[in-house]
């Protein structure tokens, strides 16, 4: 793509959107409480490219994704975006003249996943945590590590998998064929896990997992290396017991 010098100060407007929605921008980063601002992420983007068209498209893409998350996951707790933005930028740059098309595809898939799994459909998951912080990606890679280990958590290939899985869950729910773990809880959300995911429990458990380096994708780190080959699900369940997280009764 043609290179043009451009300011990335426009990214601060993304911070403004979140502020207007009174989002408490908690990070899973064990070293700090709040997320990296989009203004700061804009500075990191500027270190990688001066392509005005790409930067503008990247900002527009993020704004649409943010609005989708706000509308479909209003009770979401952790809001890290660093590695998602880094991955989007890296993949777009690899596409060269196809960078804008890549971002269009990325936006479409991310928004569809968000709308499919949030409060506006029967799936009604409460948080974006599992597909943003890589728990679902790690489970997917573990099934076929020889062919999947080098596929990134925010690749179009994996997003396509999430879309297929989401549609399957929704179809089973609509056909009343969902397993016990996908029944609605008393709070009106679906919790496929054996432990409570009420906000205070979710915060405690995920924060502890982050401290123990048991988050598959450390999205708060621009240069993180995603990890799939740890027993994330088993450790998550064990630590829920150690922390006295109430167990889910389905």
Q: How many CB atoms lie within 10 A of CB 23?
A: 17
Residue 117 has pLDDT above 60, yes or no: yes
Q: Kindly report which listed range (114-118, 149-153, 174-178) carries the lowest average pLDDT score.
A: 174-178
Whole-number Cα distances in Å, 177 to 170, 172, 181, 191: 10, 5, 11, 16
Residue 180 has pLDDT above 60, yes or no: no
pTM of the model: 0.93
Amino acid 42: pLDDT: 95
Compute the distance between CA of residue 67 and CA of residue 28 in angstroms, rounded to an integer: 21
Amino acid 8: pLDDT: 65
Q: What is the pLDDT of residues 119-146, one digit of tens each?
A: 999 999 999 999 999 999 999 999 999 9
Percentage of the chain beyond pLDDT 70 is 93
**pLDDT level of residue 31 (50, 70, 90 thresholds):** very high
């Amino acid at each position: 793509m043609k290179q043009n010098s451009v300011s990335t100060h426009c990214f601060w407007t993304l911070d403004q959107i979140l502020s207007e929605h009174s989002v408490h921008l908690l990070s899973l980063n064990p070293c700090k409480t709040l997320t990296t601002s989009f203004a700061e992420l804009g500075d990191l983007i500027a270190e990688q490219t001066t392509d005005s068209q790409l930067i503008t498209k990247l900002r527009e893409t993020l704004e649409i994704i943010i609005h989708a998350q706000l509308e479909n996951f209003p009770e979401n707790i952790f809001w890290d975006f660093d590695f998602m933005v880094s991955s989007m930028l890296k993949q777009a740059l690899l596409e060269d003249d196809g960078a804008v098309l890549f971002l269009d595809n990325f936006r479409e898939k991310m928004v569809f996943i968000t709308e499919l799994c949030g409060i506006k459909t029967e799936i009604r998951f409460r948080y974006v945590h599992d597909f943003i912080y890589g728990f679902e990606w790690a489970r997917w890679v573990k099934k076929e590590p020889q062919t999947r280990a080098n596929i990134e958590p925010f690749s179009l290939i994996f997003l396509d998998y999430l879309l297929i899985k989401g549609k399957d869950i929704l179809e089973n729910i609509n056909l009343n064929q969902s397993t016990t773990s996908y029944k609605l809880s008393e709070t009106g959300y679906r919790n496929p896990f054996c432990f409570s995911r009420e906000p205070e429990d979710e915060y405690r458990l995920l924060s502890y997992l982050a401290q123990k380096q048991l988050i598959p994708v450390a999205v708060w780190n621009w240069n993180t290396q995603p990890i799939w080959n740890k027993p994330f699900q088993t450790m998550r369940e064990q630590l829920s017991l150690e922390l006295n997280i109430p167990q889910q009764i389905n």
